Amino acid sequence: MTATLLDALALLGSFDHRLLEIVGLSLRVSLSALLIGTLLGLPLGAWLAVADFPGRGACNVALNALMGLPSVVVGVLVYLALSRSGPLGGYGLLFSPAAMIVAQSVLVVPLIAAVTRQIVEDAWREYAPEFSVIGIGRPQAVRLLLADCRFSLSVATLAGLGRAMSEVGAVMIVGGNIDGYTRVMTTAIALETSKGDLALSIALGIVLMSIILTLNVVAYGLRCWAARRYG
Amino acid sequence: MAHYLRSLMLVLGLMAGVAHADETLVVASTTSTEQSGLFGWILPRFEQSTAIKVRVVAVGTGQALDIGRRGDADVLFVHDRAAEDKFVAEGYGSYRKDVMYNDFVFIGPKDDPAKIRNAGSALNALKAIAGSGQPFVSRGDKSGTHAAELRLWKDAGVDPKALAGYKETGSGMGPTLNMAAATSAYTLSDRATWYAFKNRRDLDLVLAGDPVLFNPYGVIPVNPARHPHVKKDAAERFAQWLVSPEGQAAIAAFRADGQQVFFPNAKP
């Protein structure tokens, strides 16, 4: 164990441009999925928080359950959809970064929507009487609440980022782990482990964890800056 | 809806930076060819001589055939003769050509508790493992190696599922070797993956050389009559290059851990 760790640390110095490509693709895929996930998840979650319709409770439970959607199941479903023999096969997206973005978006949307729903619903309960007094309707309330809860909601986004960056099951299946094209950090780690090169796996794992940490530091810095600037 | 979908796909394409300037070819192949480093050695030579960019999806032979059946690859490079012939007979593949072979080897603990080093044949080795009650890990993933292993058990007249020490990992050769290393078990591996494998711990090659352990690889272009979108010409050039003198020489020159592990055998 210690020997493997030391080997891993020694390897960190010897990484080349191929590793940078893999890191770059990981970031491109996961940040794209996060962007899609945020654009769909935030409004969806906020709408569910203030909406009133029959079966709302069941809908919320289902959404919360989808946070635990296994990535490998999403991988198989997206694979079947994008396969040449599937309904969206005509676009030829299987085994491409675009397919990986689709799969990770499917994983991220329910997570962001469910966390957003809870945060906004709590705020809605608090402000609903005042909103009704000053005559603010639900569509406008959604916008106000999203703006008001922005700092809490950044956690929803970070959770989405973590989910996307860390999953391996979906991107392995829909991307195919093609060298120089669809190989990302997690699938590279899985490959090196299966080749028995545990030191390289750990080294890649250290790199991946550093990237996730860096992204979180940046998010934290932005939040502090925004809090000082805009209160 | 269709419009919306199309623009969504376009946006996705832009985000993913899809650029199809060069001709690309999707090859579905096996973990042994990828993980041993063979593709890393021969593909740059193929790409240089044809200007076709190759993308390899490395999975078990069973899954590779399925990818071909669905039309998600242009050409297959796999090793399970019976399943390959069926694939072509069913019309999914245009034809099958011999490319090369390697062999399966028995891997086990160095001290060889089931005493198969001197078993003399693969079938005797399996009988000895069954008789000794020693653990054996199987791929259990419908790969070419798994299919070969099941054929050998059948020929040895042993039902492996009835053995207490028999475990299916349901994963690739590498994870299976990792498990054999961790539990001091026997397993059947292709020679190339074994030579390229690093986490050997107490494992050693204990038996090889029996002709029944012969492991032929074939190339099959996916049938354009079945899947009109496949890159027919590029797939054809890939198949022809593999069996050409240039491709065969490249395969013969490849070394894993200093050893030749793939032997070209295309018919001229």
Residues of A in contact with B56 (CB under 8 A): 178-179
Interface test with A, best of B25, B55, B193 (most A CBs within 10 A): B55
Residues of A in contact with B227 (CB under 8 A): 84
Please report, for residues A189, A224, B49, B263, the alpha-carbon distance to residue B191 in angstroms, rounded to integers and kept in the order given: 23, 57, 29, 12
Domains by residue range for chain B, with CATH: 2-101+216-264 (3.40.190.10), 103-213 (3.40.190.10)
Strand partners, B6: none
Q: ipTM of this predicted complex?
A: 0.83
Q: State mean pLDDT over B92-121.
A: 96
The 8-class DSSP code of residue B93 comes to: B
pLDDT at residue B182 tops 90: yes
**Alpha-carbon span B149 to B168, nearest angstrom:** 12
**Alpha-carbon span A16 to A29, nearest angstrom:** 21
pLDDT at residue A187 tops 80: yes
Give the residue from B176, B212, B209, B182 showing the smallest Cα distance to B194.
B176
**Alpha-carbon span B91 to B69, nearest angstrom:** 9
Q: State mean pLDDT over A151-172.
A: 94
* CATH code for the domain in which residue A26 is found: 1.10.3720.10
Provide the number of structural domains found in chain A.
1
Residues of B in contact with A97 (CB under 8 A): 16-18
pLDDT, tens digit, 9 for 90 and up, residues A24-77:
999 999 999 999 999 999 999 999 999 989 999 999 999 999 999 999 999 999
The residue of chain A nearest to residue B199, with distances taken between CA atoms, is A196
Under 8 Å between Cβ of B128 and B114: yes
Residues from A in contact with B at Cβ < 8 Å: 28-29, 32, 83-86, 88-89, 91-98, 100-102, 176-179, 181-182, 191, 193-198
Instruction: Please give the full DSSP string across B200-256, using - where no structure is assigned.
Output: -TTEEEEE---GGGEEEEEEEEB-TTT-TTS-HHHHHHHHHHHHSHHHHHHHHH--B
Across the interface, whether the CB atoms of A91 and B31 are under 8 A apart is answered no
Under 8 Å between Cβ of B220 and B75: yes
Across the interface, whether the CB atoms of B197 and A96 are under 8 A apart is answered no
Under 8 Å between Cβ of A115 and A156: yes
Across the interface, whether the CB atoms of A196 and B200 are under 8 A apart is answered yes
**Alpha-carbon span B224 to B234, nearest angstrom:** 12
pLDDT at residue B41 tops 50: yes
Domain hosting residue A81, numbered range: 2-230
pLDDT attached to residue A231: 65
Interface test with B, best of A182, A195, A200 (most B CBs within 10 A): A195
**Alpha-carbon span A124 to A230, nearest angstrom:** 22
* A196 → closest Cβ in B57, B58, B178: B178
Pairing of strands B97-109, B186-190: antiparallel
Which residues are CB-contacts of A75 (< 8 A; sequence separation ≥ 6)?
A103, A169, A170, A171, A172, A173, A174
pLDDT at residue B10 tops 80: no
Phi (first) and psi of residue A83, to 5 degrees = -60, 150
* A32 → closest Cβ in B15, B174, B181: B15
Phi-psi region at B65: left, alpha or beta (left = phi > 0; alpha = psi -120 to 50): alpha
pLDDT, tens digit, 9 for 90 and up, residues B49-63:
999 999 999 998 999
pLDDT band at B235 (very low <50, low <70, confident <90, very high): very high
Q: To the nearest whole angstrom, how far is the Cα of A224 from the nearest Cα of chain B? A: 30
Other CB atoms within 10 Å distance of the CB of residue B248? 19
pLDDT, chain B, mean? 92
User: What pTM did the predictor assign?
Assistant: 0.87
Under 8 Å between Cβ of B61 and B34: no
